[in-house]
Amino acid sequence: MKVTEHIAEAKGKTLFSFEIIPPKKGSSIEELYRNIDPLMEFDPPFIDVTTSREEYVYINKGGLLERKITRMRPGTVGICAAIKHKYDVDTIPHVLCGGFTREETEYLLVDCHYLGIENVMALRGDAMKHQRYFEKTSGGHEFASDLVKQIRELGQGKYLHDTVEAGNLADFCIGVAGYPEKHLEAPSLDFDLKKLKHKVDMGADYVVTQMFFRNEAYFEFVEKARAMGITVPIIPGIKPIAVKKHLQLLPQVFKIDLPEDLIAEVEKCKDNKDVRQVGVEWCIQQSRELKEAGVPVLHYYSMGKSDNIKAIARALF
């Protein structure tokens, strides 16, 4: 089923979902299953699987360093298929502009269609580690809105180099990202919302937000989005703080604000075990308020661990 169909069938009930990161090369998928298993009791209708873009590594060749491109976490579509088969749950692969040509994107989408994957998350992706700003991949898309357009056209039978007139056309439900505290590269929230509106106009069916720790930011974001004419579901993305260094890391990487009350509680913690508990308690209160407000889904960024997400879900679902 499509994400929008799951939301419609819930008839106002808030659903539970989460996002996972593929294991690194050389790791077993069983490790991934061990983190998914404890969360299945809360009946997630869908699970997101992230995609990592390429990165450079340097290999010593006879005393000279040779630069090679690699992907540390490959196999997003295969993992989606495996999870879908094992748990009978819809899976959502993340599709990126960065690191992929339009042809590679088309191949990926065709594979998804063959496997019965009906939902995709269309994202621009981050800049590579050596880049100050995002740079378009040669032969790829510069903006997520262009990626959305390609996905939507595929559903109309419009492939890059030919057209299919009839048959079993791919009809993906397309998710895109929204930023309650604006994208780190956007000059203002209003400017960023115009970009979001363009993605929706291109064919996006729902929005999942970047993490936030102040619900006011989400509520204000939704209000402004609605005023701009964005009518698709806007799903809040939530991450519990887990380690003390998140106080510096999350604002630095994602350009988000942390509430003073949360900062004070984390700073009082003696170790990361205490921090993890503070993160769980804060997230439960945050999620409870969002659920009472009638959000369609509570979507959690698990970062590959499930113990804190399970504690939060148990208190809410």
Read off the DSSP letter of residue 208: E
* Mean pLDDT, all residues of the chain: 93
19 catalytic per annotation: yes
What was the pLDDT predicted at 71?
64
**Is 0.85 topped by the overall pTM?**
yes
What was the pLDDT predicted at 208?
98
Cα angle vertex 86, ends 81, 91, to 5°? 45
User: What is the rounded distance in angstroms from the CA atom of residue 195 to the CA atom of residue 256?
Assistant: 19
Residue range 46-93, pLDDT digits in tens = 999 999 876 656 677 777 777 666 666 678 999 999 999 999 999 999
Q: Look up residue 151 and give its amino acid.
A: I
Cα angle vertex 211, ends 104, 242, to 5°? 110
Half-sphere exposure at residue 141, Cβ-oriented, CA atoms within 13 angstroms: 22
Q: Given 5, 19, 54, 223, which residue is catalytic?
A: 19
Q: Considering just the CA atoms, what is the radius of gyration of the chain in Å?
A: 20
Residue range 42-59, pLDDT digits in tens = 999 999 999 987 665 667
Residue closest to 196 by CA, chosen among 172, 232, 171: 232
Asked if 80 contacts 49 with a C-beta cutoff of 8 angstroms, the reply is: yes
